[in-house]
């Protein structure tokens, strides 16, 4: 069975089918990932907000102006992406404008 030759048409057809599935399989993870719920226990514990402009500096004294999810090392997207997966929240998406107390400068 291993010595059988595969007809060229079968090989080409298989290749075309494989190429056609690439766009389906290549959907970015952030398009499939769920968004972080600000009400969940982890988000609350990390003082996560959807917009860094709303951070309460009394309860989040580590916050500094200009810190956002988009410029955090845990943000798994480009700084210009509106949302992207976050390493802290198990790959769930966060808005680029968001913030949490685990923020670390992106290198």
Q: Is residue 43 part of a domain?
A: yes
For residues 83 and 69, give the distance between their C-alpha atoms in angstroms, rounded to a whole number.
9
Q: Is residue 37 part of a domain?
A: yes
Domain count, the chain: 1
Q: Is residue 10 part of a domain?
A: no
28-37 pLDDT, tens digit each: 544 557 999 9
Four-residue CA torsion sign, 59, 60, 64, 68: negative
Range of the domain at 63: 28-95
Q: What is the pLDDT of residue 107?
A: 87
pTM exceeding 0.95? no
> Does the pLDDT of residue 25 top 60, yes or no?
no
Numbers of helices and strands, H then E, in the chain: 3, 2
Q: Is residue 67 part of a domain?
A: yes
CATH of the domain at 41: 4.10.490.10
Q: Which residue has the tokens 């009400």?
A: 39
Q: Is residue 6 part of a domain?
A: no
For 80, which DSSP code? Answer: T
Q: Is residue 101 part of a domain?
A: no
In this prediction, residue 58 has a pLDDT band, given cuts at 50, 70 and 90, of: very high
DSSP line for 25-58: HT--HHHHSPBPPTTSHHHHHTT-BS-GGG--TT
């Amino acid at each position: 069975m291993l010595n059988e030759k595969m007809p060229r048409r079968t090989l080409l057809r298989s290749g075309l089918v494989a190429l056609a599935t690439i766009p389906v399989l290549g959907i970015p993870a952030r398009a499939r990932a769920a968004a972080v719920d600000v009400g969940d226990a982890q988000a609350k514990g990390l003082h996560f907000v959807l917009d860094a402009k709303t951070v309460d500096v009394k309860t989040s004294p580590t916050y500094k102006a200009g810190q956002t999810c988009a410029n955090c090392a845990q943000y798994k997207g480009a700084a210009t992406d509106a949302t992207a997966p976050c390493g802290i929240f198990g790959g769930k998406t966060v808005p680029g404008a968001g913030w949490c107390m685990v923020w670390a400068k992106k290198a």
